[in-house]
Amino acid sequence: MLRRVLVGLVSLVVLLLASAGLGLWLAKRSIAALDPPLPTAEEILAFDRSADLPVHLAWINTASQKMPRSAVLEPSLDPTPASPYVMSHPSFVLEWADSRMFLIDAGMDRESALAFGRPIEWLSGGEPIQPIASTAERLGGALARVEGIAFTHEHTDHTSGVAELCHLRSRPIALFQNPLQVRESNFTTRPGQRQLAEAGCLEPHLLESGPLYAVPGFSGLLFFAAAGHTPGSQVFVAHVRTNGAVRTWLFTGDVVNQIDGVRQNIPKPAFYSAFVVPESTARLDTVRRFLAELERDHGAGLLVSHDQLSLEASGIGAY
């Protein structure tokens, strides 16, 4: 009897491991096949100076978590592995002159942040996550001015805050997505996709005129399909007019998790890209090089979602 129970348990473990392995293999194969065309640097940088460009950019950090850089950069390629690193979980707020607002990502509420941070703490050897404030809490009455939203990708640390946003809204919020974000998924993105579908206030708009998508109704805001990290990952471009000057900002999402990943072309740790989030390392290398060119040769600003220290040094203010 005991022998049969042990054989059954071993068989169950083997089956679970085989299923997990198959899921990882399928996700890896699927994302490796995605290679959407990138726009040119000239297309990214072009804008109409007479257009109604956004006039203010800020960020809301919903949670912070200190951890070693080795959790987000391949340690064998990192020249400064002892430098500090803090993982942030922001929502970015763009505002136009008529007071309309647009959000890029929604961050997390307190409960979601605590749940998300526990396995990250264990995997990274970092400190416990520190929830700060949800996007809805920080916006307060200004939430009524949010007319549009989009997500760099559909992982729950970027989407969880949308439930509270919708709970406090009386009108729909337009949601903008590229075709891959709508039509492709894997086991890492399906929970976030369910959160968007169940939020209750999002009005989806599928844009299909890429590779550079102009967000209708929000002049000066564009995005392109990045893939690499998730099937539907997208990088946003905003031409922001401040004090008469226009600065181009790129919102990288999780193409990298620390800005040196772009500036020094350092990939994420191999274990992470193979087993935590199955990524296309070749595609991410291509996108990192493209972003580095835009910053180095054209002066575009990079806003890396999970790099709190670089966001604080960027010059954009907290909302």
- What would the pLDDT profile of 219-250 be if each residue is shown by its tens digit? 999 999 999 999 999 999 999 999 989 999 99
133 in the Ramachandran plot: left (φ > 0), alpha (ψ -120 to 50) or beta? beta
**Domain range list for the chain:** 34-318
- What's the rounded mean pLDDT across residues 106-134? 97
E strand or H helix that includes residue 90:
strand 86-95
pLDDT confidence tier of residue 25, bands split at 50, 70 and 90: confident
Closest CA to 102 of 110, 86, 91: 91
* Cα torsion 121, 254, 18, 8: sign: positive
Q: Residue 10 pLDDT more than 90?
A: no
pLDDT tens digits along 138-183: 999 999 999 999 999 999 999 999 999 999 998 999 999 999 999 9
pLDDT confidence tier of residue 21, bands split at 50, 70 and 90: low
pLDDT confidence tier of residue 18, bands split at 50, 70 and 90: very low
Looking at residue 12, what is its pLDDT? 45
- What's the rounded mean pLDDT across residues 48-66? 97
Looking at residue 209, what is its pLDDT? 87
Pairing of strands 202-206, 146-150: unpaired
Looking at residue 265, what is its pLDDT? 98
261 in the Ramachandran plot: left (φ > 0), alpha (ψ -120 to 50) or beta? alpha
- What's the rounded mean pLDDT across residues 293-297? 98
Query: In sequence order, what are the beta bridge partners of 253?
Result: 304
Looking at residue 262, what is its pLDDT? 98
Give the CA angle between residues 308, 113, 81 to the nearest 5°: 35
Q: Which is more confidently placed, 21 or 37?
A: 37
Residues whose CB is less than 8 angstroms from the CB of residue 174 and which lie 6 or more positions away in sequence, other chains included = 147, 148, 149, 202, 203, 205, 217
Share of the chain above pLDDT 70, in %: 93
What is the C-alpha R_g of the chain? 20
Helical H segments across the chain, by residue range:
2-32, 41-45, 110-124, 135-139, 156-159, 162-167, 179-183, 190-198, 260-263, 270-271, 281-298, 308-313
Query: In sequence order, what are the beta bridge partners of 248?
Result: 239
pLDDT confidence tier of residue 4, bands split at 50, 70 and 90: low
Q: Which tokens sit at 64? A: 């912070």
Number of Cβ atoms within 10 Å of the Cβ of 45:
15
CA–CA dist 244, 179 (Å, integer)? 35
Contact (Cβ atoms closer than 8 angstroms) between residue 63 and residue 107: yes
Contact (Cβ atoms closer than 8 angstroms) between residue 136 and residue 106: no
Question: What CATH class has 34-318?
Answer: alpha beta
Looking at residue 24, what is its pLDDT? 83
- What's the rounded mean pLDDT across residues 108-130? 97
